[in-house]
Structure 1
Amino acid sequence: MRKLDRRWLLLSLAVAAAAAMAARLLGWWNPHADIRVFIPEELARYRGGPRDPGLYLALLGRVFDVSSGRRHYEPGAHYSGFAGRDASRAFVTGDYSEAGLVDDVSDLSYSEMLTLRNWLSFYEKNYEFVGKVIGRFYGEDGLPTPELTQVETMMTKSLEAKKQKLKEKERFPPCNVEWSSTRGSRFWCSQKSGGVDRDWIGVPRKLYKPGTEESHCVCVKTTGPPSDQKPGDPTQRNRGDLDHPNLREYADCSPRAVTCFSSP
């Protein structure tokens, strides 16, 4: 009886697998059945010309109908080079030549990837998504390629870096700065310096980039615990962030002065 049950189970699995394969080949089963998949030559027909079937463009392999923005993308318009293709790279570089209107974004920086992500958000918000184009970012089955996964990873890291930068700016807001030929540079702090509103003023300090001699003026909180210190820490000192290891005082400037000068 056990042997019969086992044969029945194996037969059932084989039949199910064969049915699934047949359905997939016939197009009945597709996890992305509602999403159209273009080949590049097909997408190239959608340039908005008189006899063209529509006006589409692709960004990171995602195809959008930009007919509502026709004046920007139709033949002869400023951004007509984007129509009918994936020109992801040009969204960042601004190179609208044939050599620049390509989908290769492999060498873009993290900040450029963030710009590209912002463009993708723009098109997702303002235009209809109509499908995907086979190539660098999507396969024939409409599934993401390893290169798209890498791009998305870079975008995630870019967002994290941006959040970290904003967090550091809140901790160390940039100083107000002015320069004159007679007095040199003046650095000072206020409750709105660097575009950061806060309930403290702080004092000017040089904040050095780790491992370099590069620095810029920031305002540093002088009271309370350090910004990165956990509440209740027994080593807590009432010096704000003054003891941060990457900070240096300005020469000939009182440690608690709100304004400092440097020679012209």
Structure 2
Amino acid sequence: MDGDASSKRKNMSFLRPLKHSRLFSVNDLSKYNGIEGSKGLYLSILGKVYDVKKGKQHYGPGGSYHSFAGKDASRAFITGDFNETGLSDDVLDLTPQELKSIIHWTEFYARDYKYRGKLIGRYYDAYGNPTSYHNQVMNKIKTARNKMVDEESEKLSYPPCNSEWSQDSGTRVWCSSLSGGIQRDWVGVPRMLYEPGSESHRCACIKDPTNTPLKGRLQEYKDCHPKAASCKVHS
């Protein structure tokens, strides 16, 4: 239990304030874009500034991530939109599901690059204090984080099916004692498992479909025997 708690605290470390922060204005940060004569190679994500010089092949001029240098373009980490509008630090309109990807990016920079300070603007005020906007985004990210934990737990209990497609027979899904990469002592039967309040679903292997708290979210595959371990998917 203590180990799990420690791991969770470590994984959420990017949400905690960092010490020894220098405050950058937008203009200050723009001088760290890595071009000849610049002061260095920095970027900001969610208002936290990192020195990415050691990754200059990626972030320097000509690199695939140079668009992020000298600015906060947090939104583009999620959307992949590198035009002028997309290179924005505004992410509040994105869903918790979309914000999942930025969790991994923030953890990556906090782990692999030197932290240099905070960017004054949308996320931090002139004194380095978190803004109301910052707090709203962090709350949304925590929601996304909690959902990720719930989804991983659900996958362990209801593992993904194996699947294959061929031109002759179409798509087939099936369960095994190792489907979804989750080893277990049971096989289960394929069912469509729907997201709550959504038409989105995935194939899950259900140990006992007659006795599960997810019963209202499950649907059998058409023309497939309820106890079959393999089903053909009809489009």
Structure 1 length-normalised TM: 0.72
Q: Whole-Å Cα distance in 1 between the matches of residues 214 and 76 of structure 2?
A: 45
For the aligned residue pairs, the C-alpha RMSD in angstroms reads: 2.9
Question: Offset at 1:248?
Answer: 3.8
Of 251-260 and 144-153, more deviation after overlay is shown by 251-260
Q: 1:221 to 1:61 in 2, by over 3 A?
A: same
Indicate the structure (1 or 2) with the bigger Cα radius of gyration: 1
- Map of 1:202-217 to 2, 5 A cutoff? 202-211=188-197, 215-217=201-203
Q: Deviations over 1:159-215 (max 9, x none)?
A: 111111122222222323345566555432211122322111112334344456665
**Structure 1: runs of 5 or more not aligned:** 1-30, 227-238
Partner in structure 1 of residue 123 of structure 2: 137
Structure 2 length-normalised TM: 0.80
Q: Deviations over 1:90-126 (max 9, x none)?
A: 1112222222212111212212212112111111111
On the 8 A contact 2:161/2:203 being kept in 1, the answer is: yes
1:79 aligns with 2:65: yes
Question: Offset at 1:252?
Answer: 4.9
Question: Which residue of 55, 60, 71 corresponds with 2:41?
Answer: 55
Secondary structure of the structure 2 residue equivalent to 1:63: strand
Question: Offset at 1:220?
Answer: 1.4
Q: Whole-Å Cα distance in 2 between the matches of residues 256 and 109 of structure 1?
A: 37
Q: 1:192 to 1:80 in 2, by over 3 A?
A: same
Secondary structure of the structure 1 residue equivalent to 2:185: coil
- Map of 1:147-226 to 2, 5 A cutoff? 147-179=133-165, 185-211=171-197, 215-222=201-208
Q: Deviations over 1:223-249 (max 9, x none)?
A: xxx9xxxxxxxxxxxx65398233344
Secondary structure of the structure 2 residue equivalent to 1:245: helix
- Percent identity, aligned pairs only? 44
Q: Deviations over 1:113-164 (max 9, x none)?
A: 1211211111111111111111000000001101111111111110111111
Question: Which residue of 75, 99, 102 corresponds with 1:116?
Answer: 102
Q: Whole-Å Cα distance in 2 between the matches of residues 79 and 86 of structure 1?
A: 12
Opposite residue 227 of structure 2, the aligned amino acid is: R
Partner in structure 2 of residue 256 of structure 1: 227
Question: Offset at 1:43?
Answer: 1.4
Of 184-193 and 59-68, more deviation after overlay is shown by 184-193
Secondary structure of the structure 1 residue equivalent to 2:205: strand
1:35 aligns with 2:21: yes
